[in-house]
């Protein structure tokens, strides 16, 4: 099975509704993906997912719905390189990063 790294930008009412915690739980705990998630100053959420391509695609699709308290207006995703994983905190497979 091939691996994929995807960078995802989520827009809508996605801050202050537990979106980052939801992404961390769905990606790391339920699907075993690596990566990170963070809020953006523009009001969006950005995430990076690494793992089996089909599981990464499944996670990207889930981001289009988000947790029940969120309202997702738009999701864009693009391939990313392995260097993007270096943003994670040392020793963590999946990190919640500070706002950028």
Known catalytic residues? 20, 39
Q: Which pair of structure tokens corresponds to residue 6?
A: 């995807």
The half-sphere exposure of 73 on its side-chain side, counting CA atoms within 13 A, is 8
Nearest in space to 97 (alpha carbons), one of 36, 51, 27: 36
Tokens of 21: 């915690």
């Amino acid at each position: 099975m091939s691996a994929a790294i995807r960078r995802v930008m989520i827009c809508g009412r996605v801050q202050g509704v537990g979106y980052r915690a939801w992404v961390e739980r769905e990606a790391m705990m339920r699907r075993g993906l690596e990566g990170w998630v963070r809020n953006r100053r523009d009001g969006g959420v950005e995430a990076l997912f690494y793992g089996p391509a089909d599981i990464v695609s499944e996670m990207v699709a889930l981001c289009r719905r988000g947790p029940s308290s969120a309202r997702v207006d738009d999701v864009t995703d693009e391939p990313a390189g392995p260097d993007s994983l270096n943003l994670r905190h040392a020793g963590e497979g999946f990190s919640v990063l500070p706002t950028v």
